[in-house]
Amino acid sequence: MNKKVLVVSSDNNHKISEIKEILKDLPVTVLSKTEAGCGDISVLEDGNTLEENAIKKAVEIAKRINAIVIADDTGLFVDRLGGEPGIYSARYSGENATYESNNKKLLEKLEGVPLEERTAKFKTVIAIVLEDKSIKLASGECRGKIGFEPKGENGFGYDPLFIVDGYGKTFAELGEEVKNKISHRANALKNLKKELKNILEDGENEDSSNK
């Protein structure tokens, strides 16, 4: 099977490495957007859903190159707050938001709410734009509760507040190794792998029937 080029709409080395690792047994060569010559592309994430934002990021790069392109978007959805911060997770406390200010705002909004009513989920959506410009989606979730104070030294964002169901610890307490096996992002990448495997196998079968 010939190798396909897969471009990730990111220059985040950690993200690229993670994707390379999970897709290593598929016939794809994974490139960052800069490696693909698209480092100058910057997309305003103004969609109303994670899906819209992920698709927008992938489509912008797919307009320029002939390769499979993937892009992702992630949000934290707190049930008691009607799904906040959701698509605004990264800038919840304003345009100059920091991890600390976002966490502070979330805790303030949940003040007085008991633990059993602080249920939440992290969700990651990955958009896949194929060479024929058709679009597929893969997603993953991880459920938990929002703690009363930050705990743990690892992770980033809301990780010190997110107590993972079945573990009784925050992502920041569990650490990268465990998080990378059970997280929303890990689940989305597993589903991405299944989706890509089917796409590549379908393409191979089509090529064979056309010979």
Does residue 11 carry a catalytic annotation?
no
For residues 75 and 86, is the Cβ–Cβ distance under 8 A? yes
CA 64 distance to own-chain centroid: 23
- The model's confidence at residue 163, banded by pLDDT at 50, 70 and 90, is very high
**How many beta carbons lie within 10 A of that of residue 121, not counting itself?**
17
Identified catalytic residue from 40, 46, 73, 159? 73
Strand 28-32, strand 85-86: pairing: unpaired
CA 96 distance to own-chain centroid: 22
pLDDT tens digits, 72-118 = 999 999 999 999 999 999 999 998 999 999 999 999 999 999 999 99
Tokens matching residue 125: 């959506």
Say whether pTM exceeds 0.85: yes
CATH numeric code, 4-209: 3.90.950.10
pLDDT tens digits, 40-68 = 998 888 899 999 999 999 999 999 999 99
DSSP code of residue 210: T
Q: For residue 183, which of 152, 168, 162, 197 has the smallest C-alpha distance? A: 162
The domain spans of the chain are: 4-209
For residues 135 and 129, is the Cβ–Cβ distance under 8 A? yes
